[in-house]
Each structure stands twice: as C-alpha cells, then as structure tokens.
Structure 1
Amino acid sequence: MGYQPGKGLGKNAQGIINPIEAKVRKGKGAVGAYGNERTKQSLQDFPVVDSEEEEEKEFQKELGQWRKDPAGPGGKKKPKYSYRTVDELKAKGKLAGRSSAASAGELAQVKVIDMTGREQKVYYSYSQMSNKHSVPDEGPPSMSTQDQKGTGFALPELEHNLQLLIDLTEQDILQSARRLQHEKDVVVSLSHESRALQSRLDVEQDAIQRMEAVLAMVERFPSGEMAPGEGPTLQECARIFETLQTDYYEEYKMMGLADLAVAVVQPLLKEKLRSWDPLKDSTYCLEDIGQWRAILESRDLHSSAPDSNMDPYHRLLWEVWIPVMRSCVSSWQPRIVGPMVDCVEMWAPLLPLWILDHVLEQLVLPRLQREVDNWNPLTDTVPIHSWIHPWLPLLQSRLEPLYPPIRSKLSNALQRWHPSDASARLILQPWKDVFTPGAWEAFMVKNIIPKLALCLEELVINPHQQQMEPFNWVMDWEGMLSPSSLVSLLDKNFFSKWLQVLCSWLSNSPNYEELTKWFLGWKSMFSDVLLAQPLIKEKFNEALDIMNRAVSSGMGGYMQPGARENIAYLTQTERRKDFQYEAMQERRDAESVAHRGISAGVPTNFKDLIQTKAEENNIVFMPLVAKRHEGKPLYTFGRIVIYIDRGVVFVQGEKTWVPTSLQSLIDMAK
C-alpha cells in the first residue's frame, strides 16, 4: 500500500506515522459513559478543541454558583472598578464639545451640584459633570451591609478629593488633546498656505522673467538720448513687436505696448514718407504700412474717429499718412485724374473706412467741386466726364452734388446748339447712365427735344429730291432719348407731314413702283425698336391703308397695270413682317421665361404685378397710345383708365385721380 516506516501515509506523507493505538475503557459502561476516550497520541496528532465539552463544563460550573455568596461566608464583597482609556476620554470629550451650546469660558464659572448618586457631588463646570466616572451601581445593599458601612471606615473628603483629582486630570488630558489637534490643524493650514505661496512665487518669478525680457526688448527702441540712426530700423521694430505679440501677448496687452509702437514707429515712418510723392509712386511704403496694420490694428474695431481712443494703427495713419495725402491733394490738378485714382485705389484696402471716407469727402470731393465750378463746356477741350467718371467706383453717390451744376452748365451751352453739331451728343452720351432716369429725361425734354422738333419741322419731304440730313440728325439721338419721347416727337413733327405728302402724291397719278420704293425707303430709316412701337406701326399701317384705298377707288385717274396687286402684295408683306416680328418677340420672351425658371413668375415691379393679376382675372391691361397724365403713361384696365406712380395705382374719377388698392381695382374692372 506504499507504507514506509517512519513516514506518514498519503501521497505527500501528510498522514499519521504510528499505527492507531487501542485504549481500554475503565469500566463496563457503554461508549461515552466515561467521557472522552481519545488517546494521547490522537490528541498530539489532531489537537482539536471540543467546543461542546468546554461549554458543558462552563455550564456546570455556573449552575453550581447560584446559591453561593460571592464574598464567601463572613468575607468581604470584591469591589468592581471602571477603567477608561485616553482615547475613550478624547472621544467623549469631542462629543461633549459638539453638543455644548456655550463656550468653555462661559461654562467654566458654573457650579453644578449632582444629587443623582448615593452621595452629593459638586462640579465646577458642565464638562466635569459630563466626564464623571460611571461607577457601576451594586444595587441597594442589604441591611447587614448598611449596618456594616455605618460602622465601617468612611472617608468622604478623601473620596471627594480623589474625584476632583480625577476630573482635573481628565480636563488636562482633554485640553492637551485639543491643543495637539489645534497644532496639527495649524500645521496642515500652514502647509497648504506654503504650497499656495510657493505656486504664486513661481508664477511671479516667471512673470518677472517675462517682464525683464519685454523690458530688454523695449530698451532697444530709440529714445531721446540716442542720436538719429542709432536705434533699430523700421523692419527691426516690426520684428520686435511681432515677437512681443507672439511670445508675450499678455504683457503686450497689459502694458499697452501698442501705444508705444505708435510713438516708436511714427518718427521712423514720418522720416521715410518725407520725400514721398503719391502721384509718382503710389506703391511706395505700401508693404511697410501693411505689415504694421497686421501688428497694430484691433480685429474687434470696425470703425473709429480722430479722438483720444483711436486705434493705434488708425492713429498712425492719421498722424503720418494723412498729412502727406493732404499736401498732395492740395497741389493736385483734378483734370489729371489717373495718378490720384490709382493711388487711392491702391491704398484703399489698407485704410480704415472712416479714413478712406475722409480722404474722399474732405480732400478729393472739394477739389472736384471747385474744378466743376471753374469748368466751361464751351471753352474747355477736355471733356468733363473724362476726369469725373473715373471717381464713380470710389465716390459713387457722393458725386450727386456735382451733377446739378454740370447739367446747368450743359444746358446753358446747348442754348445755341443745332442738331447738325454731333459734338453735343458725344459730350452727353457718357452721362446717360450716370444721371438718374428722371433727371436725364427732364434734361432731354428741356434741352434736346425742342431742338430736334424744330429740325423736323424744317424738314422738307420731297419724293423727287429728298434731303435726309435733318432726319438723320434726329435719328442719331435714338439711343439717347427714351422710346416714348422719340415716338412722340416723330408723331407730332414727322408723320403728319409724311402722310400729307403721301396723300398728295397719290392724288396726282403716281408711279406706284416708285411709291412703293419710297415707302420702303422711309421705313428702312427706322430701327426695329422703333418699328415695334405701337404708334409707329399704326402710322405705317395707316399709310398702307391710304395706298390700298387709293388703288381700290381709282383715285388719281389713270391706274398703272398691276398697281392694285403690287400695293396689296406690299400690304400683305408688311403685315406678315409685323406678325413674324411679334411671333419672334413672343418666342424670345418665352425662352427667357423658361431660362429664368420659377423666378420668372415673380413680378419685378408693380406694373408686372398688375399685368399678372389682369391675366389671372381675364382683364385687358394695355397702354393708351400717346396718352399721359403728369408725364405718367395711361393704361386701360378693363373699362377703367389708370396710371401708376411710385408703386401706387390711381383711378380716374369724376374730377380727380384717386389712389386705390389692387383688389379694389380688380373688383371695379369686373
């Protein structure tokens, strides 16, 4: 079985070494009658405490004590003592300290008489009372014991003194514990404060080092004691301030070094710009100013003004760059416009808005106004638009005050003008898109149209020997006059004479072939834009009708063979051309609408809105030819006559024109 003498059983020899021994029972009793039967060897090998046997012994021992006197017969009762450790005393003192409502100084003077025990006790503070010894009560003594105490050895004064010593000792222990805890708290607080001060000291030390570095950089700038040229150059100053902004930004802002930059750079930049002529070299120093703009200009500042709170970059330009420009503009000839415009356009991206406005409004514009006042269109050889219009992108609406005197001088110059002089058109043409449409139309009506009307009145229409120069002088103004003004001019001063000559010719046995050529020749003198005007169409159609009536009625006596057919063919051809032109125009409009997509359906003005509403409600909306009220064209909206003025529709009443809403207009038209 693997047993080896001297070694225990089991795989790891953890079993017993000696074989099991037999033990002889004392008597003839059964198993367990004589107690534990384990052998000595068993107890050595397996030392197990039998808890049940121990409990049984303890129970039997206590069971026999219930009738015995603990002190023994005639003996004294053994006294019981209560012990308290220092830790328990400290814990109880802490609880008493938390629950106490008054301070120790106030409670120290309180005398407390304790009569809760067998004897009267006196305490001199509530804390002493709370820390008194809790001697366990033995219960009310028997009569024999009381008799014995009454006759025994009693020392109440000694007991009182001992109790007082105990209380004082406890108080000393508690006070010492409190002082120790206080000192520990002070140590912790001082350690925290020490760490905070050390951290602050490190921060202050770093700030001192950074400030010393900043001061070293600042001391490199020129001062009053330095001779000119000894300090750093403009580029070196820029690099120093870039380093300050990049590496020492907090110190840069805290110390307001931007103001120092202005004081340092201003004399250097002023010296550099002393000999600068902006009209000769507009890009001079442009790169330097751009570099200082990146350094000095505040990103949060959108506008400023010449005051004490001006941005450093703005102040630098105001004190250095503006004086140079002011001197340059004061000696500038406004008619030599190119260099000054180039200079302003070149510098505009670097200038704050208010400085650019100052240059344009306070420096350039007054010079232009004085030059316009001195301008004479009759004697000056340089056209005024050549030195005014280049300023349009910069000045824009600021040039409006110059336009009335310009129109006034042009009007005076046109008093003796004749349409044969084409120079007037060349002078006025550049102003067509500059003046407002109303101002331009009024200028044309006042100064040009009357001259053209006289020219048409002097025109002699002679089919056999026609002089076309006067008519060509008038038609040269087609792009300058509005279509309505030109149509009205031709209607009043040309077509009446032209139709009269046609009727006179038809009444004298004309050559219809020549008549047809004459008709087509005059029609070819009109542009497609004019031929598309309803009134022009009406006049040429009227001429065709007169010719048709002449050949149909045989007016004029002898009728050439084929004349009726030729006139009919001419009429059909002209009507077909009109129809084709209208169809092509409609197709172009449809393609334009399709190209614009959905946005084409949105009315662009009030007239388009009225047109849309008229189409939606099947109401005829069309202009009345050659009918106006206060210069506004009249329209028919159903059976109502209206005109539109600044987005308001007016309806003709019995005596006056009354404004109305669009819905009311639709209701009245229905």
Structure 2
Amino acid sequence: MERPAFKRKSDTDDASSQKKPKVTASNGGGGGKMSFAQRMMAKMGHKEGQGLGASGDGMVAPIEVKLRPQGAGLGAIREKTEQAKSDAKRVAAQRGEVVDDSSEEERKARKKRKEAAWANGGSGASTPGGFTRPKVKYRTTADIEASAKGLEVPNVLKSIIDATGKQAKLLTSTAGLMSSTIAISPAEAEAEKIATRARRELESFADTWHELEERKKYIDLEEKQVQQEIEAQEEELRISRKVYEAVESLHRLDLSKPCLADEAAARWEQVTSQLETLQVEYAIEINHFGLTQVAVAAIHPLFKQEMIDWEPLEKPLHLLPYLQRLKAILGADREALNDFDASKRQKSTTPFESLIHTLWLPKVRTAVTNEWDPHSPSSLITLVEAWREILPPFIYYNLTNNLIVSKLSTAVHDWNPRTSLKRKHSRPLPHIWLFPWLQFLDPQHTDPKSATGLLSDVKRKFRVALDTWDLSRGILPGLEAWNPVMGPTLQDALIRNLLPRLAQLLATDFEIYPPDQDLTPLEIVLRWNEFFKPTVMGQLLLAEFFPKWLNTLHAWLISDPNYEEVREWYSWWKQQIPSEINAVKAVSEQWAKGLEMMNIALDLGDCAKDELPPPSAGPSRPLVSSTPGTPSMGSPAPAINTPRKFEEETTFRDVVEAWCEEESLLLMPLREAHEITGLPLFRITASATGRGGVIVYMKGDVLWAQRKTEKNIWEPVGLEESLVKRAEGK
C-alpha cells in the first residue's frame, strides 16, 4: 500500500498566494499598510473616497461624535454634525434633490438682523419675525391736557424736554425748538430739574384724574342700579299691599258658618270671583306671595262643608266648575297623567293635594267600595273623566288602578260566560261594563298579551264563551266591540276555539241536496265571515263544503241531467258565497273544477254516466229517483228544517245531560262505580278542564250527589240552582 503524497507547506503557500487577488498600496490609503477593516472592505469592492453601499451613496467618513456640555439635556445644542449635514446634501445631489436647510438659513438671517440692530444703535433684542420693540415716546403737557377731559395745565408747566438725541434738550416756544444742540446754563439746568419734577407730578395728577373719572362713571352706574332696585322694591311693596288688601277681604267673608244650599252657591261664586281676580292680576307672583296657600285656605271651609252631604255617584260634577276656574292659583295644573310614575312622586304634598286627599278621596272611596256596581259604569266614568284634569297624579292613580281595578277584578272573577250568554240572564257582558274603563287604566290591564291584568283575565273566560256559545243564535253579542280591544289575539281565539266548531257544524249538519236544500248550517257559518280573514273562511269551505258540493255535482251529471238546471244551480251556489271569499285563489279554483266537470260531461254526452271521472272527495248523499211526488233536481227549494224520521226513547240520563247543557255544565263519566250500588259515577262541573264540581250517580229517576265534606255520604239532589252552585265550586 502506497503512502499518500503530502505537499510541502511552502508549495501550498505559493499556490494560495497565486490565487489570492493582489492588493495594491492605493487601497490602503497614503501608500501605508491597510487595516483589517480596510482589507475586508476592499475585498467587497469598496474604493477609497466613495460612500458605503452598492450604489456608493452611503456615508464617506466615520461617524463623528459630538458631546454635549456637562449637565445639558436634549435640545440644548444642535445634535446634527457637519459631517451628517454634508452627507445628506451629497446624497440629495446624487438623487437630483435639494436639501432644505431652513434652520441654518434662519439662524444666519437672525444673526444678520441682530448685527444690523447693533449697528443702528439698538439693543439687539428683537421679536420673532424681525419685529423690533418700538421706542418709548414721551408725552407733552398738551398731550396730557388733551387726554384728560376737564384738566387745565398751567402755562409754566407747558415746557417740553426733547429726549430724542444723545443729550436731553429743553424746548420752549421761543428758543431751540428746531436746533440740534443748545447750551444749558446751571440756572437753566436747575430750572430743567424743577420742570421735570413738575411734569412728573402733572403726569401723576393726570393719572389720578383718569382714575377719578372712571370712578365717577362707576358711581353713576351704581346709582342707576340702586335707583332701579328702589323702584322695584317700591313696586313690589305696592303689589304686596294690594295682595294684602285682597286677602283681608277674603278673611272678612267669614266662610266657616253653615248655610243653606242657595247661600252656599252664592258664597262659592263670591270666593271664586275674588280668587279668580287674584289669579289673573298676579299670575306671575302666585308662588312669590304664597297665593296657593291663601286660595286653599279660603275654599277649605266651604269644601269641607260640601263634602259632608255629597253623593259622588249621583252628583259627579259637584263643585268641579269652581275648581276648574281656579286651577292656576290652586296649583292643580299637572302634566299628562299617562307619564305619572307612582314610585317617583314627591314625599310632601301641596296644600291642594292635601285638601283632595283628606276630604275628596275618602268620600269617593266609600262610594266606590260600598255603592258602585261595576256592571253600571256610567256614573263613575263621568266622575273620573270630569275630575281627571285637576286631580293630583297619585290620587288619580289610587282611584283608577287600586279602587276601581279591585272592583272590576271581582266582577271579572264572578263572570260566568256559560250562564251570562243565556237569554234569561240579565247581567251585561264585559264589553259593556269593562271595556269603557280600559282608557283610564295602566298598560298591564289593557294589553291582551300580558300575563296578568283585567284584559288577560277576561280573555281566558272569553275563550270559554266561544266554546259554549250556541251557534244557532248567530254572532256572539258585542263581538264587534272585542275586535279593537283585543286586536290580533281575537283572531287567534276565534281560530282556536270557534273555527273547529264551525267546521264540525258543516261536517255533521250540512248536506248538499238539490231537491230539498237546507242552507241553515251554511248561513250560521257565513255569519262569522266578518270576524275571519277571507283566506281562513276559504280554507274552511275547502275542507267541508266543496267536497260535498263536487260529489253532488258529479252525481247529478251522471244521472241524465238537464244542463240548463245544472247551470242555474251552479250560478245560484256561487252567489251564496260572499265575493271576498270567492276571490281567494283556492276557492276560485274549486269553482273552476266544477265548471270543468260540467264541460267534460257535456262533451261526453251519453257516455258521461260511465266515463265522467269522479272528484277526489268523500261519499255524497244519494239522489232520489225521479218518481211521481218526488222533488225534481231543478232549482233549489227553500231551506226547511226536516224533522227526524223517528224519536229515540228518552232516558233520565238524557234529561240530566240536557239540563247540564242548558246550564253550561259538563257531565263527565268517571269510569268508576259506586261502592254499594255498582252504578257508574259522573262528575258535574263548570270547569272546562274537567276538575272540581260534584260527583253523582243516577238510580232510577233520582240523582244522588256526594257530600262535599263527608265523601262516604250520598244524598238525593234536584236539578236546581243549588246543584249549579256546587258544580261551579261555590
């Protein structure tokens, strides 16, 4: 194995020296030896005298260090060095730009202005922008005399000292006014001193004169103001005296003595007239002079005497005209009562509020609680409407939402929709005695969507009325009054509680029978048309009317019909349905189906009996054959209620069921048997949920009822009012 040949160190050095680029002395600068940094920069292509970077626009010289003086902070000296400025100018020149050295130029300009100011004999101080401070000008005695009105200066003081030159000169009217220099003797120099002191005293005197003039103006203004205050106080004193005299005249009336009705009316008119005069003449000063307290104190004896014998329900407007004339002076003007919040009212009451609270409210409270019948609301509504404008908000709230609502809630609770809708019942329905109060009550009682309140309570019972109303009697009485009050909730209640009953009526009691047509069930349904949307009634007819109608039409067309009679029959039925229902698309399509069936049958001719396709509907009532004495399939006959073909045997249970239906009660089998007799048990109740009431069983023609307290004791009862009360839970 041969050993690898190793090159000598000298050979490798020679080879490496041949491959390395030769560095000339010029790169080192000055022909001296280059530093390590210079050699590294030379390897990267840098040339001496050029800037750093690939494009040569970087810095040329090393970064200079500029030290601040000891203790100086930022901004004390200019941080930018001359090298940085020259580099910035050089780079900008290479880019074709011009460096804005406005700060340097501004500094040079300020320096020039300062030197020019020193050359002109100035102090060198200047304001920014080159504005120099104006020189001080001395006033002459004429200037002082002209500036101070009413000030007379003696002639001896009217000398002028010229201080414009380097030497002060005394100028008079006879000498040296226009000369540049003037020789001053010692005597004149002493006179100059005296004149200078006199001038200074004159200037001080003139300044004092100005101060006194300003003070005089201020005193004149104060005098005018004091005079105005005196006049205002005199006017207020004059008004106070007149008010005092008017109050004294009220005091002299002696209104505390009892009197007859005619004398009381005269006293009320007299007091009201005097208070009305005060109210008009001193409308602005009512609160200032406490006229509200005076007015309430004046009418208090009369008001108290009238409240003793007052019957609120019989005379709801008693004393109201007098109080309305005095609303301003009594402090009875209030903001809209709808904005009243009972939780934010003031802690103290005004005199008028105290008067109403202590004398008027107890009388009305007694009448509402003991005398007022909620089913006859007219008298109390008149009282509330009349007194609403002047009643204090918290008293009005207490009257309407506490006293009246309490009575109305009891009346709503006692209202039984099953019995009140009967002809023999004399108690009016809620739309007569409840709805007129909704305008006075809080929103919680007037919102049908609210969980609590009068309207929500009566709405629940209204649904029971819809469930138990006898449809043969027509529209529920007063239903049109429920629509504006209940809004959309009425439509929901009708759809949920009434519409299924109308559909059941058409399904069970209505038949399409041309020989003897009975329209009574359809007429009953169409009476409710104004309370349903046309689309809802259209869907009802689509489900219960048109299947029967199309079946009857098909049966007629396949029995060798008279097409003229069929056409008249078709037109007659279309006229029975209101136009707004016929305008519904689904309804018009059903009429079109009938017309199409008639056209197909006409085209088929004799083959219609076998080839006319039947409609997609249920079975129809079979048509009678054309025999003598049988009505033909011609024009419809008038509606006649046909009696039943036979009468079923009546049982005692049928009698009880009929009685319960008449009294709007439910007879429900319990699927349980009596322990002793084994007879089936029933529950008679007035609740739609099937709870409560009384448990009974029937033995022969006797009804046995379970006692309320002792469940194991049964006693015979009759079909009378006591059983109705037990069924209603009373």
Write the deviation string for residues 333-389 of structure 1: whole angstroms up to 9, x where unpaired. Answer: 110012122222333344566655554333333322221111112223322211123
Aligned match of 1:449: 499
- Residue 496 to residue 220, structure 1, CA distance change in 2 (3 Å): same
CA contact (8 A) 1:461 1:498 kept: yes
Counterpart in the other structure of 1:507: 558
Query: 2: distance between equivalents of 1:546 and 1:120?
Result: 144
Code of the aligned partner of 2:246: M
Match status 1:217 vs 2:246: yes
Tell me, in whole angstroms, the C-alpha distance in 1 between the residues paired with 2:511 and 2:213: 126
- The DSSP-based 3-state class of the residue aligned with 1:273 is helix
Is 1:402 aligned with 2:402? no
Q: Name the residue aligned to 2:377.
A: 337
Instruction: Tell me the distance in 2 between the aligned counterparts of 1:549 and 1:460.
Output: 25
Distance 1:200 1:306, change over 3 A: closer
Please list the CA deviations of residues 498-542 of structure 1 after superposition, one character each: whole Å capped at 9, or x if unmatched. 211221222222233433333233222111122222222111111
How far apart, in 1, do the equivalents of 2:478 and 2:284 lie?
62
TM-score by length of 2: 0.47
Give 1:473 shift: 1.8
Pair 1:453–1:296, CA change in 2 (3 A) = same
Question: What residue in structure 1 maps to residue 434 of structure 2?
Answer: 388
Q: Deviations over 1:254-298 (max 9, x none)?
A: 332323333333343232233222322222212101111043348
| Deviations 1:584-612 (CA, angstroms, capped at 9, x unpaired) | xxxxxxxxxxxxxxxxxxxxxxxxxxxxx
Alpha-carbon distance in structure 2 between the residues aligned to 1:354 and 1:325: 15
Q: CA, structure 1 residues 270+131, in 2 after alignment: closer, same or farther (shift >3 Å)?
A: same
- 1:367: which partner in 2? 407
Match of 1:546 in 2: 597
Aligned mates of 2:241, 2:404 — CA distance in 1 = 48
Unaligned runs of 5+ in 1: 1-86, 96-115, 133-170, 172-181, 560-670
Q: Distance in 1 between matches of 2:413 and 2:480?
A: 21
Contact 2:507 2:544 in 1 (8 A): yes
1:456–1:471 CA contact under 8 A, matched in 2? yes
1:487 aligns with 2:532: no
Output the CA distance in 2 between the equivalents of 1:306 and 1:340.
26
C-alpha distance after superposition, 1:8-43 (max 9, x if no partner): xxxxxxxxxxxxxxxxxxxxxxxxxxxxxxxxxxxx
Q: Could you tell me whether the CA contact under 8 Å between 1:292 and 1:313 is conserved in 2?
A: no
Pick the aligned partner of 1:324 from 363, 368, 373.
363
The secondary structure found in structure 1 opposite 2:597 is: helix
What is the CA–CA distance in structure 1 between the aligned matches of 2:574 and 2:215, rounded to whole Å?
Answer: 115
From 420, 437, 446, the counterpart of 2:472: 420
> Alpha carbons of 1:555 and 1:448: their partners in 2 closer, same or farther (altered >3 Å)?
farther
The CA deviation string for residues 563-588 of structure 1, in whole angstroms up to 9 with x for no partner, is: xxxxxxxxxxxxxxxxxxxxxxxxxx
The answer (yes or no) to whether the contact 1:506–1:547 under 8 Å persists in 2 is yes
Separation in 2, partners of 1:557, 1:308: 91
For the 8 Å contact 2:286–2:329, the answer to whether it is kept is no
What's the CA shift string for 1:628-661, capped at 9, x where partnerless? Answer: xxxxxxxxxxxxxxxxxxxxxxxxxxxxxxxxxx
Superposition map of 1:295-334 within 5 A: 295-297=329-331, 306-308=345-347, 316-331=355-370, 332-334=372-374
Aligned partners of 1:246, 1:127: CA distance in 2, in Å?
Answer: 76
| Structure number with bigger Rg | 1
Alignment match, 1:63: none
Match for residue 526 of structure 1? 577
In proportion to residue count, which structure has more helix?
A: 1
Give the secondary-structure state (helix, strand or coil) at the position aligned to 1:497: helix
Q: Comparing both chains, which one has the higher relative contact order based on Cα–Cα distances under 8 Å and sequence gaps of 6 or more?
A: 2
Q: Which residue of 2 aligns with 1:630?
A: none
**Cα distance change on mapping 1:529 and 1:120 into 2, 3 Å:** closer
Aligned length: 412
Q: How does 1:187-336 map to 2 (within 5 A)?
A: 204=233, 207-222=236-251, 228=257, 233-247=267-281, 252-297=286-331, 306-308=345-347, 316-331=355-370, 332-336=372-376
The structure-2 alpha-carbon separation of the partners of 1:244 and 1:128, relative to structure 1 and needing over 3 Å to count, comes to: farther
Q: How many Å separate the matches in 2 of 1:245 and 1:287?
A: 16
Matched with 1:432 is 483
Give the unaligned 5+ runs of structure 2. Answer: 1-151, 161-184, 202-210, 448-452, 611-730
CA 1:308–1:257: 2 relative to 1, 3 Å: farther
Q: Return the letter of the residue paired with 1:262.
A: V
Q: Which moved more, 1:513-522 or 1:499-508?
A: 513-522
RMSD value over aligned CA atoms?
5.0
The residue correspondences of 1:456-605 to structure 2 (distance < 5 A) are 456-458=506-508, 459-555=510-606
- Tell whether the 8 Å contact from 1:415 to 1:447 is kept in structure 2 after alignment: yes
Q: How does 1:41-120 map to 2 (within 5 A)?
A: 117=186
Q: Distance in 2 between matches of 1:120 and 1:461?
A: 145
Cα 1:263–1:495, aligned 2, differ >3 Å: closer, same or farther? same
Asked if structure 1 preserves the Cα contact closer than 8 Å seen for 2:256 and 2:301, the reply is: no
Cα gap change, 1:353 to 1:512, in 2 (>3 Å): farther
Q: How does 1:89-168 map to 2 (within 5 A)?
A: 117=186, 130=197
1:17 aligned residue: none
Contact 1:418–1:451 (8 Å) recurs in 2: no
SS at structure 2 position matched to 1:404: helix
Task: Measure how far apart 1:207 and its partner are.
Answer: 4.3
Determine the C-alpha separation between the residues in 1 that align with 2:607 and 2:548: 20
Corresponding letter in the other structure for 1:402: L
Q: Check whether the contact 1:530–1:536 (CA below 8 A) recurs between aligned residues.
A: yes
Distance 1:391 1:300 in 2: 22
- CA distance in 2 between counterparts of 1:387 and 1:442 reads 24
Q: Distance in 2 between matches of 1:90 and 1:310?
A: 80
Q: Is the 8 A contact 2:472 2:524 kept in 1?
A: yes
Judging changes above 3 Å, is the alpha-carbon distance between structure 1 residues 292 and 274 closer, same or farther for their aligned structure 2 residues? farther
How far apart, CA to CA, are the structure 2 residues paired with 1:214 and 1:447? 70
1:549 Cα offset (Å): 0.8
Report the TM-score when normalising by structure 1. Answer: 0.51
Tell me what 2:677 maps to.
none
SS of alignment partner, residue 419 of structure 2? coil
Distance 2:222 2:154 in 1: 33
Q: 1:412 to 1:88 in 2, by over 3 A?
A: closer
Q: Could you tell me how far apart the structure 2 residues matched to 1:533 and 1:338 are?
A: 44
- Against the structure 1 CA distance between its residues 420 and 295, is the aligned structure 2 distance closer, same or farther, given a 3 Å change threshold? same
Query: 1:385, 1:430 within 8 Å by CA — same for their partners in 2?
Result: yes
Q: CA deviation at 1:489?
A: 1.0
Please give the secondary structure, in 2, of the residue aligned with 1:425. Answer: coil
Q: Which amino acid aligns with 1:399?
A: T
